Each structure stands twice: as C-alpha cells, then as structure tokens.
Structure 1
C-alpha cells in the first residue's frame, strides 16, 4: 500500500480541510466479514490497558505481600500508569500521525509486553515500577486506533465502529473481575501478568494479521523538546494531583511537583509558539468546537472515573454488624479482656447502612457486569444515532443522563438494586458519550491530525480523572466512620476506621463530583454549534 503524505491545508479557522487522498487506504470494497474482523482486532487490542489496570487495582493488596519494602507506596503500582500514560498519550498519537498508525500501535504493544514481563518476573520494587511505567507507554493505543478506524473503515461504518471502540466488548469491566478473582484465588498475583502476556500476544497477532496500515502520514518531524516539556509538565502535575491527599496538598515536597509541572507546561507553550513544526498544534484549541470538546472530556471522564471508584468502596465495605464485631474483638484483644466487657464502653459514629460486604466476584455479578452491559448496548445505538441525526444530540443526551444518574444516586445508593436500576441511565450516558464525543472530534479535526487530537482528548480525560480522584479522597476522608471508646475515667478516645466512610460522604461525592461537573459539561455541549448534521466519519471539517 502506497503511503500518502498529507501536508497541512489551513483554512480560515486554521483547522485544515479534507484531502481526496484521505480515502486511499479505505476498505470500501471489503466484505462485511473482513470489516468485522478488523473491528474485533482493534477493540481486542484496545482492551489491554483497561483490563490490566482493573486487575492491578483489585489485586494491589496481594501485590503488596510480594513487595513488603514498598509500604504505603504500593499504591504507585496503579498511580504510575496514570502518570506515565497521561504524559505520553498525546506523543503516541502524534507519532501515529507521522510514522504510521499500525506501526505505532504495534510498537506500543511490544513495549507493553516488555513491561508486563518485567512485572511478572521481578522481586525488586523499583524494577516492578519500571515495568509498569514501560507498559503505560501503551496507554495511547486507543487514541491511535480511532485514527485507524477513520482511515480504513467505510464512511458509513465509522460512527458505529467508533462507538464500539469506545465502549469495548466489556472484557475489562465484565470479564476482568471474574478473571482476576479466579487467578488470584488459585495462583499468585503474578498470574495476572502471565495472563496479560498471553492475551496481549494473541491480540497483537490478530491485529497484525487483520488490520492494514493506514497510508496517511502527516509531513512533520518529531518535536523532541516540545514532547519532553509536555510530558514532564503533565506527568509532574499528575503526581501532585494523585498523591496530594497522602503527601499533603500544601507541603513543599508535594507542591514542588506542581510548580515544576506548571513551569514545564509554560515553557512548552512558549516553545510551541516558536517552533515551525510543533508536537501539538495549539491553534486547534483556539477553535471553540475543539476546546469545548476537550473540556467536556475533562469533566465527563472525571465523572466516569469517580463513579467507578464509589461502588467498590461502598459495597466491598463489611456490613455494619460484621465490621463492628471485628473492631470490638480487636479492642478486647488489646485490653486482654472479653468482647462483652468492652462492648458497653464502645460506640460507633456514622452511617454505613450501604455496606454489603461483597467480594470482588459478588460485586461483579451484582453491579459491575450490569452497568457495563448497559454501556455496551447503548454505545452502538448512540453511534447509529450519530450517523443518522448527528453527534450533538447523543452527546447532550449522554450528559443529561450523567446528571440524572448522579442526582438519583445522591439519595438512592445504599442497595445493589438501586445501583443497577439507576445504572441503566449511567449505562446510557457511558455508551452515548463514547459514541458521540470521539465522532464529533473526528468530524472537527482533519485526518492528518486525528492521532494527536485524540491524544489531547485523552490527556484532558486523564487530568479530569486525577482531579476527581483527588477530590473524592478529600471528601470521603472528611467523613470517616469512627469508633469512640470511653475510658473508665470518663475520657474518650476517637479512632477513624481506615477506608470506611459515613454515608453522607458518598452523597456529597455524587452531588459535587457527579451532578456538578456533568451539568457543566452539558452547558458546554449545548453551546456547541457543530454536530448538528449526520456524522460523516471524518469526511470534512465543519465550518
């Protein structure tokens, strides 16, 4: 297949226009079976990062036993993926535009395999984190694959394919908890990484065999200084946001990361204005139709992330009677007496009537699977609507559904039945968002900048995730479940129970981190003037 090098073609709005050569590699004559196989290959490979992240998040307590020297820093087993991924997604997207999208996806996948193998083999904590960091370089795969969908699939297929790529096949959300539960129950935590090695090798082989390379290239050289400044700025800022609750928001040791990160980003902005071939064309953000989409990504992804945090925190908390008895037994053992003797001296402050004591498997069966299935069903429907009537209305519907779901959960979130009933609206929001927002971006930004623009979209989402996660931690920490012990002298001792929070904390989270950001995103979506005509699969830039 002959490569088509596309130079920039500026317009009045500075975003570029469609070049006829954009259709050079399109699979218009391919059979339905071939197109479905290409889509399966893309989605299967795009699942590797969310699947491994879910597994690691669930298995961190078990991983901690393998690295006792890590101590409280064990949370970096998950944090480093967000930091390195957020710092490199836009660069990976840019490389896809310049070097070739299939080539970059394959290279990123190989790096993921290297990092996963290191994690499976090492007993050294620093080397384990290095492996996780190397694997995080694959976080940009999905951003590049949106470009492959745009470049390769027939135009009428693109809106629905984008929706399916965004919502996935549910492997990470549906099968992930079942797989990690089975693996860690019968084998060590290392089995997670061996599973991911096998899965990724199979997914990569299918991708290499089924997906052709896009012939489109952006005529540009790599802006190394810009890439380093941007990556450092985002990475350092995300460290501050990710660790602020544990390190202290105002401590100089933590503020240093934020100050250094903002300085790098300021230097990046200055550099990008001066260089002839910037890594990230900031003029894209000067167009409201692009900037608003990026801000919507920040807000909506933040809502998605914090909603996924709330449910495990609540439903994996032991039931009140069980937890109270465990705590009483601990107090009695410490005092070398019986539970009956200490019970009159101990009482608990806080409402944990939401606690269900679910295992990982029970949580998946009762809640996670259902909300994921709802999203998978509504994703293609949203893609179909985008193709028929435009992307703006499905985007607005998704954000309205986010507001409605979060508002209902403020009051009704204590039982799994309430969670999945309201989860239907949340699934609608999830499916329609990933069906509409990437399609709208695709119809807004020229093809030769699809990779970097998708990367920017993901970076804004990473920032939203980091901000809402930090705020979530701050909100729940301010509303702990407490044990109060009355001493024989009449003095009282109050102890906050770790990782257990009063019900009011979750009501506040749903309100402040669900309703409010979703409503702000809805206001931005209502202000959009694009997406009012049927999605064209990136045929042209809207005026």
Structure 2
C-alpha cells in the first residue's frame, strides 16, 4: 500500500535516475563519499553553536549594535529559511554537488567578511551569507539518493541527518579553547580553515549526480517565496522583543503572508513552477513536512531551555551577585542591602555550568545517543519501514518531555531521560527523510528536501518564540523594600522553575503528541524503505541482478 504523489511529469536531461549510482564501487569508496558529505555539512550546526557562544564578545567590537548583537545568530536562521528551498531547487536544475560546494563558497565569503570588517552592517551581510550552509544537508540527501546503492540509502540518510557530533559535542570545546586564548575572530578563522580543508574532500571523493530537471528557474517564484518566508520568520523571531501586537511587528507578518499568497497564485499559473504544489497536497509529502515543523520546534526549544537552565548561576551565587552589585552601586555594605532585598521564584534547577561543562555533562551524551540511533534507525528503516520509526520517535519525545516536567534539575536526570530524547532525535532524522525520498521522484528530491528544511526552520523560530513567551511570563525577581514601598525588578534571562515545567508541555508534550497522531495517519512507510526506488524496480533488483554495493 503506497500512496502515489500526483505530479506532472518533468522532462529530464537524462532518463534513468540510476545513471550516476556507484553500485560497482568498493566499500571504501562508498564510505569516503558518505564521510566527505557529513564532514562538509557539519559546518552548519558548528558555526551556529560557535557564534551563539561568542555573541557577548561581539558587543565589545561592535558597540553600535547594542541589544541587536543577537542578530549575529538571528539573521542566519532567517537567511537560511529564505534560501533553502531555492538552493534545493538549484540542486535539481544544475547539479547537487555543485550546489553543495556553492553553499560552502558562500559560507567562506561570509566568514571572511565577518572576520575582516569593522562595520556591523557588513558583519550581518556575512552572517546572512553563512545562512546558505543550512541548505547543505538538504541538498546532500539528494546526492545520497542519486549516488549510493539503494541498500545503503536508508542508513546513509540517518548518518547525514545526525552527523558525527562535531557540531553538538566538539563545538563548545573548540570554541572555548579558541576564545580563552584569542579573540572572537579566531572562531571564524577556524571555520574558514575547516571549510577550506573539507571542500577538496568533497571535490575529490564525491561524484556529481547526472540527474537534472530540464526546466528554467522560476525566478519570480523564488523571490516571492524567499521574501515571504524571510518576513514571517523575522516576525516570529523578533515578535517577543518588538511586541507581538505592535503594528511595526505585525507589518512584517502581514506583508509576508501577502507575498506568500502571491507566491501560491503565481505557482498555480506558471508552466514551470519552483514548487509543484501538488506535491504538498499528497499526504505522503505533507505529513513529513508537518512532522519536520513539530519535531524541529521541540528539539530546538528544548536545547535552548537546557542551556538556560544549567548555565544559570546557582541560587546562592546569583543572589550574592545581585546583592553585591546593589551594595557597590549604593556604596553600602552587602549585609545592609540583604536586609531590604528578597527574591521571588524557584531557581533550584540552576547549576552554574560553563559551556564546556554543559558539553561534557549533557550535550555530549545526547549527541552521542542521537548519532547512535540515527544509524540504527536508518538500518531499521530497511527492515520494518520508516513509519514505525516515526511513531517511535514521537512516542519517545512525548515520554521524555513528560518525565522532564518533574525531573529536570540535575545533569543525571537530563542524561538518563536524554536517552529517550536521543532515540527520538535519531529515529526522526532517519525516518522522515527516508519517507520523503520514497514519496517523491528523484528529479524533485532537491526542492522537496529544501521544503522539508524550510518547515524545520519555521519550527525552530516558533519553538523559540513559544519558550520565550512562557519564560518571560515567569521571571525570577528581586523585591526591594524602599521605605515601605515594594520595588519589583525582573532579573534578565533568569526564569522560575514553573517556566520550564510549562515549556516542556508546550514545546515538548504537545508537538510530540501531534507527531504521533500524524505518523499514525501515514499510509506510506509501512514497508521497508526503498531508497527512492519504485516497488517494482526494487523487486527486480532483489530477484535479479547482483549485489554490488550491498551494505
């Protein structure tokens, strides 16, 4: 029982999609292709993690940025979300390896601009160019589909999705070592060297896919889609700061929605659309897109929540810092200030971890769990199909977040429950792309994977916004007795335990439950993943020709 997507046939430059498949290659060459692709795409999570860490240091070099210094991170998500579908489509049109290398080139140019400029505006331009790296994984799914033997594809997809953990595990260690001894510029020089070294690996080890769509690029559609997604992401990302109901904020959302409506209208009438909307009407495609939004929403928000919790100074230390700062400002002894200041809110979760301690105690474990279950999940997709893996992913996330509501205050609790989180993370990145690969034709793989990444990008922004809204409603406060009058002040970026309990419900339990419901509704993925092959051709392979390239 497989659902067929209703799409218009496309004229392609080459007929058989297996023309570039390296079935006769030995095991070593196949591994080299996969390793080169994974190492190259690791730059996306690595650069985001590193720049997030050095944001406070950027403020000193760009004093004119003020509170807007966080745009060093925000603009990457917006630019990435606005361009991922376009770059995915370009992969279908001009070659997926070529576009993968283009993403790396744009990142290099952007990183060089960031490290050499003294202008905040040009720095942000460089960061926006760095957003192109977010399309790498989406385009690489297509290379895996086009190049590797069919039996390798389900497992390889899981490996590409979860990576080798460099971004999650080594980023804080490398970044901490660099910034402890050098300026923030060293982080960008490291990233430049990393991409410069891994680029030749891709050029040498990875062949180009010969599969092309003989079609003109829908420039108008690309502009309308990119602009609409960019404006919507801007509203979602900055709405909590600007005010959700403020006219200046709503204007971005309104214009974004108008442009998106114009995009839909244009795609329905143009003979060569950027995105065939009939793809999105198919349940086999629409459900993985919706799941990408939900799961990425949860994963992104939970990562931010855990970082906030465990890097918040311990209650006694934080209270002492606040009292000492007040005493220094008033030129009185701290003991005197302590008599007039009380604190409101439970922050018993606070551990005061450094970034390195976070990596060693929590991040390394969850990243390792995700990698392990990504590979295992890809193998299981070959055995039982991707649908059951997606259901298991949703159930694991649901159970993990439900357990985290009461038990989240120690790193041991985070790691123990994080095993379930790792199952969810790994199985999702194995199952969802495999579902999409089996649901769409090879000549639509690039744009489909790009759209999957766009839905995930929107999920990241929405998840962050939901957490920010909940956290802002539950701040940790000081209450000062000023001659009988109570003066209440919120402590920036410190939230009560109640904020995290409700956040686990809003960005964890609810999206996970919806994911399970959607996965249960899937008609596809009930048979072993085919690596994009039709069921008929797979039967021919298994009963006829050889076993070259088996995994």
TM-score (norm 2): 0.95
Q: Is the 8 A contact 2:387 2:431 kept in 1?
A: yes
Q: Could you tell me how far 1:110 is from its partner in structure 2? A: 0.7
Counterpart in the other structure of 1:120: 115
Q: Is the 8 A contact 1:158 1:537 kept in 2?
A: yes
Of the three residues 14, 33, 45, the one matched with 2:7 is: 14
Q: Describe the SS at the equivalent of 2:60.
A: helix
Q: Describe the SS at the equivalent of 2:409.
A: coil
Q: Describe the SS at the equivalent of 1:216.
A: coil
Matches of 1:89 and 1:70 in 2, distance apart? Answer: 27
Counterpart in the other structure of 2:28: 33
Counterpart in the other structure of 1:287: 282
Of the three residues 418, 428, 441, the one matched with 1:446 is: 441
Matches of 1:270 and 1:410 in 2, distance apart? Answer: 44
Report whether the alignment pairs 1:458 with 2:453: yes
Report whether the alignment pairs 1:513 with 2:507: yes
Q: Describe the SS at the equivalent of 2:523.
A: coil
Report whether the alignment pairs 1:262 with 2:257: yes
Over aligned residue pairs, what C-alpha RMSD do you find?
1.5
Matches of 1:176 and 1:143 in 2, distance apart? Answer: 22
Counterpart in the other structure of 1:346: 341
Matches of 2:258 and 2:353 in 1, distance apart? Answer: 45
Q: Describe the SS at the equivalent of 2:150.
A: coil
Counterpart in the other structure of 1:296: 291
Of the three residues 316, 322, 330, the one matched with 2:325 is: 330
Of the three residues 468, 480, 485, the one matched with 2:480 is: 485
Which consecutive segments of 4 or more residues in structure 1 shift more than 4 A?
A: 15-20
Counterpart in the other structure of 1:7: none
Q: Could you tell me how far 1:15 is from its partner in structure 2? A: 7.0
Matches of 1:371 and 1:16 in 2, distance apart? Answer: 43
Report whether the alignment pairs 1:419 with 2:409: no
Q: Could you tell me how far 1:40 is from its partner in structure 2? A: 0.4
Report whether the alignment pairs 1:271 with 2:278: no
What is the number of residues matched between the two proteins? 532
Instruction: Write the deviation string for residues 16-52 of structure 1: whole angstroms up to 9, x where unpaired.
Output: 6999711101010001000000000000011111110
- Counterparts of 1:429-440 in structure 2 under 5 Å? 429-440=424-435
Q: Could you tell me how far 1:335 is from its partner in structure 2? A: 2.1
Matches of 2:132 and 2:370 in 1, distance apart? Answer: 27
Q: Describe the SS at the equivalent of 1:143.
A: helix
Counterpart in the other structure of 1:531: 525
Counterpart in the other structure of 2:246: 251
Instruction: Write the deviation string for residues 58-96 of structure 1: whole angstroms up to 9, x where unpaired.
Output: 111111111111001101000000001000000000000
Q: Which runs of 5+ in 1 are unaligned?
A: 1-10
Instruction: Write the deviation string for residues 485-505 of structure 1: whole angstroms up to 9, x where unpaired.
Output: 112x21110110000000000
Q: Describe the SS at the equivalent of 1:163.
A: helix
Report whether the alignment pairs 1:212 with 2:228: no
Counterpart in the other structure of 2:540: none
TM-score (norm 1): 0.96
- Counterparts of 1:179-218 in structure 2 under 5 Å? 179-218=174-213
Q: For residues 246 and 12 of structure 1, do their structure 2 counterparts lie closer, same or farther at Cα, with a shift above 3 Å needed?
A: closer
Q: Which runs of 5+ in 2 are unaligned?
A: 537-551
Q: Is the 8 A contact 2:5 2:439 kept in 1?
A: no
Matches of 2:534 and 2:464 in 1, distance apart? Answer: 37
Matches of 2:271 and 2:53 in 1, distance apart? Answer: 46
Q: Could you tell me how far 1:435 is from its partner in structure 2? A: 0.6
Q: Could you tell me how far 1:12 is from its partner in structure 2? A: 7.4
Matches of 1:401 and 1:20 in 2, distance apart? Answer: 42
Q: Is the 8 A contact 1:63 1:189 kept in 2?
A: yes
- Counterparts of 1:389-428 in structure 2 under 5 Å? 389-428=384-423
Matches of 2:232 and 2:209 in 1, distance apart? Answer: 34
Q: Could you tell me how far 1:342 is from its partner in structure 2? A: 1.6
- Counterparts of 1:85-124 in structure 2 under 5 Å? 85-124=80-119
Q: Is the 8 A contact 2:466 2:506 kept in 1?
A: no
Q: Is the 8 A contact 2:284 2:435 kept in 1?
A: no
Matches of 1:319 and 1:526 in 2, distance apart? Answer: 43
Counterpart in the other structure of 1:306: 301
Report whether the alignment pairs 1:138 with 2:129: no
Matches of 2:276 and 2:494 in 1, distance apart? Answer: 45
Q: Describe the SS at the equivalent of 1:496.
A: strand
Of the three residues 56, 59, 81, the one matched with 2:54 is: 59
Q: For residues 541 and 440 of structure 1, do their structure 2 counterparts lie closer, same or farther at Cα, with a shift above 3 Å needed?
A: farther
Counterpart in the other structure of 2:311: 316
Higher mean C-alpha deviation, range 202-211 or range 329-338: 329-338
Q: For residues 46 and 15 of structure 1, do their structure 2 counterparts lie closer, same or farther at Cα, with a shift above 3 Å needed?
A: farther
Report whether the alignment pairs 1:522 with 2:521: no
